[in-house]
Amino acid sequence: MRDAINFLCEYAIDNGYNLRFALEPKPNEPRSDTYFATIGHMLAFIYTLDHPEMIGVNPEVAHEHMSGLNFVHGVAQALEAGKLFHIDLNDQKGPRYDQDLRFGSENIKSMFFLVRLLENNGYSGPRHFDAHAYRTEDEQGVWDFAAGCMRTYNILREKARRFDADPAVQELLATVNGGNSEHISWLGEVRNGYSKELANKLKEADFNPTALGQRGYQYEKLDQMAIEHILGIR
């Protein structure tokens, strides 16, 4: 696989083709096990190639769900790595087979957070609906299916915008992300890299695990707000 991708990249460069390639992970089917089963597997492989800058990922909703993993987390990892070149949007009911259902028809909460992630991170690549209408549909049903995929994406995009603009959500997020101001300042220092001074501060700090364990983080309330936005109540 590595030799093939390296050869392909050299061929594109030699011929002056301004191309990038997106690799699509999948855990199984038609065989029980396949190489590069998930987004993480594929990202690790890409960095072993001769031209990793030319190679990204094309994750698919159904494939990551077949692995039993959180698709939104996987896409976030690809975005953070600058490797989300393309995305296949569909839906999946459980781990059995590659179902390619209409986007948003099953895992509506997960798809809400996926759309929010893509929009809030300014993803500008292709949004491809790799999905199929029910086999019982006539031609008009296929067009209804295609329109439904796009309509659901746009609906979730608007709901995500309203969720982020909701003052109650913003207030709760500020509370959730708040805490000891000194500890928060240390997080900023950690992002700037290691220093012996900071390491000593962390070793000497009394984080009081009992108090931290007693603190309520209000995630249930925040999650309920997301559900209410999805359901159109807020």
Q: What is the pLDDT of residues 71-83, one digit of tens each?
A: 999 999 999 999 9
Strand partners, 88: 60, 128
Q: What is the pLDDT of residue 183?
A: 82
- Per-residue pLDDT band for 142 (boundaries 50, 70, 90) equals very high
Average pLDDT, rounded, for the chain: 95
CATH class of 2-163: alpha beta
pLDDT above 80: residue 135: yes
Q: What is the pLDDT of residue 78?
A: 98
Q: What is the mean pLDDT of residues 112-126?
A: 97
- Per-residue pLDDT band for 65 (boundaries 50, 70, 90) equals very high
Lowest mean pLDDT among 10-14, 30-34, 70-74, 127-131: 30-34
More confident residue, 38 or 211: 38
- Per-residue pLDDT band for 96 (boundaries 50, 70, 90) equals confident
Q: What is the pLDDT of residue 73?
A: 97
CB-CB neighbours of 93 under 10 Å: 13
Q: What is the mean pLDDT of residues 85-98?
A: 95
- Per-residue pLDDT band for 52 (boundaries 50, 70, 90) equals very high
Q: What is the mean pLDDT of residues 121-125?
A: 97
Question: Cα–Cα–Cα angle for 63, 152, 28, nearest 5°?
Answer: 5
Distances in Å between the alpha carbon of 179 and those of 53, 171, 190, 218, 221? 40, 14, 17, 13, 18
- Residue 46 DSSP label: H
Rounded Cα–Cα distance for residues 158 and 165 (Å): 11
Q: What is the pLDDT of residue 187?
A: 85
Q: What is the pLDDT of residue 67?
A: 93
Distances in Å between the alpha carbon of 127 and those of 75, 78, 149, 154? 13, 15, 11, 12
Q: What is the mean pLDDT of residues 46-64?
A: 97
Residue whose token pair is 């939104």: 72
Q: Which helix (H) or strand (E) holds 173?
A: helix 167-176
Contact 84, 75 (CB under 8 A): yes
Q: What is the mean pLDDT of residues 150-163?
A: 98
Amino acid sitting at position 139: E
pLDDT in tens, 201-218: 899 988 888 988 888 889
Rounded Cα–Cα distance for residues 12 and 5 (Å): 11
Residue-range domain boundaries for the chain? 2-163, 168-231
Beta strand extents in the chain (DSSP E only): 21-23, 55-57, 87-88, 127-128
Rounded Cα–Cα distance for residues 33 and 69 (Å): 16
pLDDT in tens, 160-198: 999 999 999 999 999 888 877 888 888 889 999 999 999
